[in-house]
Amino acid sequence: MPPVQVVIGIVVERGRVLITRRHDDGRHLAGFWEFPGGKVEPGESLEDALRRELAEELDIKVSVRSTLQASTHDYPSATVVLHPFICDLSAGDPKPLASQEFRWVTLTELPDYQFPPANAAWLKSLADHLPQATT
């Protein structure tokens, strides 16, 4: 089975980043916090998938600032390749359309939230890419 391609938006606004919490419904990684995003559809570019997912999940528009290195993680049921993008909020106020809730947090607050294991590879390096979001 080919790896699942997943885009992730690290949305920055006023020195904070946007995180969402998965519904606590018993599915894989239920209740975990994550950066919003989702699966890339066939024939879709990574940036188009990111914009679509953030519009569908949060009713927001973003502009891509930069990309981080993709990382691969093996879960028992699938292998995922995460494609993280650092983005600026360009329009809309987030609404939790596909998640249980959302929060704006600083990077120093991120360790207070439980993230999926696949995020560990680059989660710690965010301060190098977003020093203004650490306070």
Dist CA 100 CA 97 (whole Å): 8
Q: Is 57 annotated as a binding residue?
A: yes
Q: Give 58's contacts (C-beta < 8 A, 6+ positions apart).
A: 18, 20, 36, 92, 94, 95, 96, 97, 98, 99, 102
Q: Is 101 annotated as a binding residue?
A: no
Q: Is 37 annotated as a binding residue?
A: yes
Q: Is 27 annotated as a binding residue?
A: no
Q: Is 129 annotated as a binding residue?
A: no
Q: Is 21 annotated as a binding residue?
A: no
- Binding-site residues for 8-oxo-dGTP, in ranges, read 22, 28, 34-37, 119
- Binding-site residues, in ranges, read 22, 28, 34-37, 57, 119
- Binding-site residues for Mg(2+), in ranges, read 37, 57
